[in-house]
């Protein structure tokens, strides 16, 4: 099969022919139709973790073509089913191959069935970023997940209205966070007042369902922080999710948190992308989405042991996604060229780390990314 392969010595990637992966008893083999790009995919070409040639890529959607014996008995999957998921291609100590290939293997219980009314191109944008948001809100912050009836009436439902700020509201993670918060609020007695910080050009989208922000602030406005604090009448934020976590963003948000508040970030302090204040009002929390895969993870200089609890949460979340149309996918920018153009075009647009580290070119499909995901169709014929 054809796959996009990392060359760690050259810090580059190219398309090569490699053997098709073989599913073990608990795995499913998927014919990949679409892949969505995440910044981590390009980061680990520029700064390789792998020391050998590995298949790159995380997010995928496609059709089931082969089912392991355990998956056949436990997963309820059958050949031809439309599924989506994510893997950790070339960015961990485990040797499982990545998603940027004609076929990929995945454990059956870390896949979700794509609803009939959702395209596979959109489904490819969901798995990694939606789980990232769900982990932040429900697994790490401890808010009650909308799929768990036993937690639908938590202590949160007895409190006053809660102010929740999302910085980077139009990022993929931010978009999923807002949807999940709205679904959570629908099960609670407590009002969640959602404040988004994003570019003005995305406000119309963010005001509308399924995001339904109560207040929106322009990240370019030098007074956005004071405006956010004023919305809380100076009481401070109970919850915040910094979906950018670069430069001064974490320190600024921390400055208007309640002392008992919860602040999540998308980049670890060890990565050095954001400025550490002299003293935190609230200690920011961070966790790698890769923990949901249930395998040992090497990421950002950290070795994380296999985490059965995080994996169980991911299984529960994907089961919920399979049960109904629960989230709206990210807006798709379908990139031309298929597998052969991911490295040249897609990785250039993503850069290798921060928002500023991105190429600028004149082609329409190479315009700056804004509230959308780069998606490639592997069967692209031009």
Position 278 scores a pLDDT of 72
Cβ neighbours of residue 186 closer than 8 Å, sequence gap 6 or more? 146
Measured from the Cβ of residue 77, the count of other Cβ atoms closer than 10 Å reads: 19
Contact of 57 with 96, CB cutoff 8 Å: no
State in words which class domain 133-287 has. Answer: alpha beta
Percentage of the chain lying above the pLDDT 90 cut: 66
Task: Look at the alpha carbons of 39, 302, 6, 83 in this order and tell me if their dihedral is positive or negative.
Answer: negative
- Average confidence (pLDDT) over 139-147: 92
Q: What is the pLDDT of residue 352?
A: 64
**Residue 296 above 70 pLDDT?**
yes
In this predicted structure, the answer to whether residue 199 has a pLDDT above a threshold of 90 is yes
CATH architecture entry for 2-126+306-377: Alpha-Beta Complex (3.90)
CA distance 68 to 256: 51
Judge contact between 66 and 24, C-beta under 8 A. no
For the chain, what is the mean pLDDT? 90
CA-nearest of 321, 314, 328 to 138 is: 314
Between the CA of residue 251 and those of 210, 216, 283, 293, 308, what are the distances in Å?
29, 20, 10, 31, 32
What is the CB-side half-sphere exposure of residue 25 using CA atoms within 13 A?
4
Task: Provide the 3-class DSSP secondary structure of residue 374.
Answer: strand
What CA–CA distance (Å, rounded) separates 116 from 140? Answer: 32
- In three-state secondary structure terms, 40 is helix
What integer is the mean pLDDT of 303-317?
Answer: 94
Domain limits, the chain = 2-126+306-377, 133-287
Indicate the Cα dihedral angle 244, 13, 11, 87, nearest 10°.
50
Residues 275-304, mean pLDDT to the nearest whole number: 83
**Among the listed residues 138, 235, 130, 140, the one whose alpha carbon sits nearest the alpha carbon of residue 187:** 138
Residues paired with 303 in a beta bridge: 298
Whole-number Å distance between alpha carbons of 41 and 5: 11
**Environment class of 259 (CB within 10 Å of its CB; exposed 0-12, middle 13-18, buried 19+):** exposed
Nearest to 207 by CA among 194, 220, 188, 222: 194
User: What are 228-268's pLDDT values in tens digits?
Assistant: 999 999 999 999 999 999 999 999 999 999 999 999 999 88
Q: Tokens 């990785």 correspond to what residue?
A: 347
């Amino acid at each position: 099969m054809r796959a996009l392969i990392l060359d760690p010595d050259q810090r580059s990637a190219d398309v090569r022919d490699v053997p098709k992966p073989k599913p073990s008893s608990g795995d499913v083999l998927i014919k990949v139709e679409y892949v969505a790009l995440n910044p981590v995919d390009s980061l680990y070409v520029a700064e390789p973790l792998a020391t050998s040639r590995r298949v790159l890529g995380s997010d995928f959607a496609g059709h089931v073509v082969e089912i392991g014996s355990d998956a056949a008995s436990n997963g309820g999957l059958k050949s031809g089913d439309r599924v989506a998921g994510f893997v950790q291609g070339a960015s961990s100590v485990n040797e499982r191959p990545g998603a940027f290939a004609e076929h990929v293997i995945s454990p059956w219980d870390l896949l979700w069935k794509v609803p009939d009314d959702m395209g596979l191109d959109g489904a490819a944008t969901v798995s990694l970023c939606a789980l990232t948001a769900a982990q932040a809100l429900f697994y790490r912050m401890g808010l009650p997940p909308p799929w768990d009836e036993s937690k639908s009436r938590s202590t949160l439902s007895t409190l006053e209205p809660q102010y929740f700020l999302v910085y980077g509201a139009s990022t993929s993670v931010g978009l999923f966070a807002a949807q999940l918060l709205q679904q959570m609020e629908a099960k609670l007695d407590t009002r969640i007042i959602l404040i988004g910080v994003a570019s003005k050009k995305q406000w119309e989208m963010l005001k509308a369902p399924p995001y339904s922000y109560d207040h929106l602030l322009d990240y370019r406005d030098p007074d956005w922080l004071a405006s956010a604090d004023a919305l809380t009448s100076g009481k401070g934020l109970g919850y915040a999710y910094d979906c950018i976590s670069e430069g001064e963003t974490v320190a600024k948000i921390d400055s208007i948190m309640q002392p008992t508040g919860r602040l999540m970030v998308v980049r670890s302090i060890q990565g050095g992308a954001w400025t550490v204040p002299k003293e935190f009002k609230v200690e920011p929390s961070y966790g790698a989405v890769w923990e949901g895969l249930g395998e040992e993870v090497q990421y950002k200089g950290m070795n994380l042991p296999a985490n059965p609890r995080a994996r169980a949460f991911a299984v529960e979340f994907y089961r919920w996604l399979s049960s109904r149309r629960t989230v709206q996918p990210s807006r798709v920018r379908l990139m031309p060229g298929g597998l052969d153009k991911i490295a040249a075009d897609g990785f250039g647009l993503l850069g290798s780390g921060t928002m500023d580290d991105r190429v600028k070119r004149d082609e329409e499909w190479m315009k700056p990314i804004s509230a959308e995901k780069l998606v490639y169709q592997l069967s692209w014929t031009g």
